[in-house]
Structure 1
Amino acid sequence: MNGIQITTLAQRPELADRLGDMKDPWLEFARHDSLACLLYPWMQRELADYVLVATDGDAMVARGYSVPFALHARGRGGVLPTRGWDQVLMWAFSDLRLGVAPDTVSAIEITVATDRQGEGLSALMLAAMRENARARGFAEVVAPVRPSGKPAEPDTPIEEYAYRTREDGLPYDPWLRVHVRAGAVIDSVAPLSMTINGSLAEWRDWTGLPFDATGPVRVPGALAPVRCELEQGYAVYVEPNVWVRHPLDRTA
């Protein structure tokens, strides 16, 4: 793609302060995951070789975060966790702190700037993330995928949605389809991939919704309903993701 340059943050450390300034489509409530607030600065600082930045001239047009971790360590056994995104972040942090050698790379985020949507940048970033892992000797990239079409069906069980296909056999979901076209296979679902909790006042501020009755609240952009507990004064969002596996050819 003419003009697009993808580098690691280690190669372009001067871009670190601009990563959060890129205009992106993330909704306000999604910016309040406790682990993300804690570990994104850590990833930028300690894992800059696994943070990708796409630029077009002076403009930052996409970013990608990934982490190395030991999927086959004792007690994990190569099984992708039901706690998905949150769990793999904790494993990566723990492994680096304890000196456990990683054997797998997990995608954490691929985000394209709002004014550059629809240009194929997400597939380009995914390819770059795969190549970055392969070049570092890894045989597999995994990803807790946030299906892009799921917000239109918040009440559909993730098990049903994840495996839905089109007539051509490819996934129904557009973002899952990008992964499969890149060589991934759908492995399993992560029903507890990300948990965001907050007071009712915080949820009202984040969404503009009243949160005035106990029960499920359908929040635009959420993959599943948010659970409101009016009498207890809080609400909780538990996001499901879909695990995919990308085998890599280390001889390429």
Structure 2
Amino acid sequence: MAYEIHTLAERPELLGEVWTLNPTWPEFMYHGPVADAHYGQLVDTFHDYTLVATEEGRAVARGHTLPVALDLPGRRNLPPDGWDRMLIWAFDDHRRGRRTDTVSAVEVVIDPAHRGRGLSTLMLRAMADNARTKGSSRLIVPVRPTAKHERPETPLDAYVRDVAPDGLPRDPWLRTHVQLGGEIAGIAPASMTIPGSLEQWRTWTSLPFDKDGPVIVPGALAPIHCAASFGYAVYVEPNVWISHNLT
């Protein structure tokens, strides 16, 4: 049976199922302060920008997008703190009633049983179509490259330059975006910041976090900075800015 994709505004009865989808993120990814402050409000605030894919009536994927006003002083360049900044700007714009001009995708989650079937491509296309319908001429995405965690010590700009013989990125998710017409528009070196005490990081990772210096953590795209002498550690995740022209 074919997948059907709707906004949550069109299918509000799917709200409960949306949150049952498991993104399989590493535990530490659930503890960013910006995400804690905003993530749970996405579907209530931007239900007409939340996409849900179903098969035989059951939710098998979700995609969150956000309307933002980029044509403002101080905002005309894609920000270095990509994912975090998109949430901050979108909710600020909503509170202030600003007219928005751009849509940013911030998450696609596919049910594990449906991965590898091209559903992520369908979700990305649906996000672009929905953004176009809302009057946006551009879809921007702070992309978390799906295979970068296998090379955490490689700088992201070098990782992005690693292309296959056909000239497309080797990373599967970056490759999908480029195949659909997306342009790599830059690096967001501090896209998501997750600070925590040493005890929190030990709980999240089961690693000792007992020495000053970088710590390689499974699932992280870059080393975590451990300041054991001062009692804390910080993960600063880099993402890749992708821009899709919708005109």
Same fold (TM over 0.5): yes
Matched residue, 2:10: 11
Q: Conserved in 1, the CA contact under 8 Å of 2:196 and 2:232?
A: yes
Deviation of 1:88 after TM superposition, in Å, equals: 1.3
One-letter amino acid of the structure 2 residue matched with residue 17 of structure 1: G
3-state SS in 2 of match to 1:91: helix
Residue pairs, 1:120-199, within 5 angstroms: 120-199=118-197
Matches within 5 A, 1:53-68: 53-68=52-67
Equivalent residues of 1:149, 1:173 under 8 A apart: yes
What stretches of structure 1 of length at least 5 have no aligned partner?
none
**2:209 paired residue among 193, 211, 221:** 211
CA RMSD of the aligned region, Å? 1.2
Match of 1:99 among 97, 100, 109: 97
Q: Which runs of structure 2 are paired with 1:197-236 in the superposition (5 Å)?
A: 197-236=195-234
For 1:37, what is the secondary structure of its paired residue?
A: helix
What is the letter of the counterpart of residue 71 of structure 1? L
- Alignment partner, residue 32 of structure 1: 31
Say whether the 8 Å CA contact 1:85–1:193 is kept in structure 2.
Answer: yes
How big is the shift at 1:58?
A: 4.1
Q: Deviations over 1:193-242 (max 9, x none)?
A: 00011111111111111112111110111000011111221111000000
**Could you tell me which residue of structure 1 aligns to residue 74 of structure 2?**
75
Count of matched residue positions in the alignment of Structure 1 and Structure 2: 247
Q: What are the Cα deviations for residues 145-195 of structure 1, in whole angstroms up to 9, with x where unaligned?
A: 001111011011111112321111111211000000111000000000000
- The answer as to whether partners of 1:71 and 1:103 remain within 8 angstroms in 2 is yes
Gapped regions of structure 2 (runs ≥ 5): none
State the SS of the aligned residue for 1:142. strand
Within the alignment, does 1:49 sit opposite 2:36 as a pair? Answer: no
Q: Which amino acid aligns with 1:42?
A: Q
Normalised TM-score (structure 2): 0.96
Of 9-18 and 186-195, more deviation after overlay is shown by 9-18
2:145–2:171: 8 Å Cα contact kept in structure 1?
A: yes
- Percent of counterpart pairs with the same letter? 50
Task: Check whether the contact 1:69–1:103 (CA below 8 A) recurs between aligned residues.
Answer: yes
- The AA in structure 2 aligned to 1:45 is D
**Cα deviation code 1:19-67 (max 9, x no counterpart):** 2221232111111112112212222111100001111124321110000
What is the letter of the counterpart of residue 87 of structure 2? L
Aligned AA (1:10):
A
Partner of 2:85: 87
- Determine if the alignment matches structure 1 residue 111 to structure 2 residue 109: yes
Shift of 1:3: 3.2
Give the distance between the partners of 1:117 and 1:213, measured in 2 at CA: 38
CA contact (8 A) 1:25 1:113 kept: no
Aligned residue identity for 1:206: W
Residues 196 and 238 in structure 1, CA contact (< 8 A), matched pair in contact too: yes
